Amino acid sequence: MQPKSFFISIPVLLIWILLYSLQAEAQTANSFFHKGKQLTYKKDYQNALSAFNQALAKDPNHIKALYERGVLRLYYLDQSELALADLQLVYQKEPDFSKIMYYNLANAQNNLGWNEIAIENFNKSLEHLPKFVCAANNRGMCKSKLGKYEEALIDFDVALKKDSKEHKKNIFINRANVFANLGQWENAKKDYESSLAIDPFNQHVFINRASWEIKRLEFGSAMNDLSIALNLEEKIKDNSRADHFNQRGFLYFLSGNIQKAIVDDDSMQISKEKDYQILFNYRAFASSILQNQNKDFTCIVWDDFVGNTNNLYQATINRKNKIPKMLGGILYSKEYQAKMEPNLLVDGSPVSCKWKKSAIQQQQGFTVIPMESDFFPLKGKHSYQLQLGSTVSQIVFINQETN
């Protein structure tokens, strides 16, 4: 007689095979996960990403691999949208997976410009971890972007009281930028110096301070800070930032040192990054001056209203939303007279507008006048020029599509 156990041995065997297979699959996913962690530690980020992808292909519910891939994308691969998707999925599956989950979510949202939502998650991060003051610093940065400068100062004050010395050198820079936005330039300068006291070779101090010095028309100080920043960058890495060469070249150009301006433009082109956008296209003017030995060009507009795209020569700006700022900028002239009034040309024709001028200054033979009109850019594609006397600035094109 056959033993009865014979009739259940096959399904038991199948179950055992299935369980073994699932265990083997999980082990394979784990092996890829640990490989990804090791590669991240070695700073081999692309291969680390590949390893995490393989782990998730084997096991889509591998929470650790999903979380580490999100962190990798956020902090090392500049893939904030994909990072946010990974981290949100982790949060949906296991809300308590990580103590700094809210912090990571907020940083991804901050990178994407979702400042209000980011602030909410930084708030939650500080509720769970009150001593995690990195969240206070980053929340302050979000508030600063929203123009909530007084609130930002409170966050930076908290971070400076509790954070590490290594972090403080950058928090001082953040607070200095807020002070500068509030017009408290002396406080801003003190914070820049406090950062340098911690790290005398922190190039970010010189870069940030130079940007404000340019806005304040303190060109000599800006030139000095940009030169120091470029010298530090060249020691740190082979390719210096193109925009810093471009800014310094522009200052050389304004000061009349045309040859050095062109040298910096050459350096900018060599170190130019793939997605780099020129801030000041002074090369055509500088070359023309050297060829014609004529330094008496008149009006140039620094087109403030288009944000960070400040071109002296030509720009094509695309905006989906209405530009909220009136046309304006900074006029540089070697022939300015007190009674002269600039004219705004739209598509080559003069338009009626009023100008609000700030304090007129003299810089290296130029009359420098920050000013703003009462004219908003028009819907659709139009060209804008500034006329002063018989001289007309180069064309700036704006293609503005309002919703």
Q: What are the tens digits of pLDDT across the range 92-113? A: 999 888 889 999 999 999 999 8
Return the C-alpha torsion angle 130, 134, 135, 141, nearest 10: 140
pLDDT score at 319:
44
Write out the E strands in 34-162.
Answer: none
pLDDT at 239 over 90: no
C-alpha–C-alpha distance, residues 28 and 31, integer Å: 5
Q: Mean of the per-residue pLDDT values for the chain?
A: 76
- How many angstroms separate the most distant Cα atoms in the chain? 121
pLDDT score at 288:
59
C-alpha–C-alpha distance, residues 347 and 360, integer Å: 28
pLDDT higher for 373 or 38? 38
Q: Which tokens belong to 225?
A: 């800070």
pLDDT at 306 over 70: no
- State what percent of residues in the chain have pLDDT above 90: 32
DSSP letter at 301 equals E
Q: What are the tens digits of pLDDT across the range 339-397? A: 777 788 888 888 888 888 777 776 555 676 777 788 887 887 777 777 777 666 656 66
The Cβ of residue 365 has, within 10 Å, a number of other Cβ atoms equal to 11
pLDDT higher for 245 or 25? 245
Cα three-residue angle 191-192-193, rounded to 5 degrees: 90
pLDDT at 62 over 60: yes
For the chain, domains (ranges, CATH) are 300-400 (2.60.40)
The secondary structure element, H or E, covering residue 392 is strand 391-392
pLDDT score at 8:
44
Q: Model pTM?
A: 0.63
- State what percent of residues in the chain have pLDDT above 70: 67
Q: What are the tens digits of pLDDT across the range 110-163? A: 999 899 999 999 999 999 988 888 999 999 999 999 999 999 999 999 999 887
C-alpha–C-alpha distance, residues 314 and 280, integer Å: 9
**Any idea which residue has 């979380």 for tokens?**
67
**Any idea which residue has 């394979």 for tokens?**
28
Return the C-alpha torsion angle 141, 145, 151, 156, nearest 10: 20
pLDDT at 298 over 60: no
C-alpha–C-alpha distance, residues 396 and 280, integer Å: 12
How confident is the model over 183-194, as a mean pLDDT? 94
Cβ atoms of 226 and 248 within 8 Å: the answer is yes
- Helix, strand, coil percentages (3-state) for the chain, rounded to 5, are 55, 10, 30
Q: What are the tens digits of pLDDT across the range 272-292? A: 654 455 566 666 656 655 665
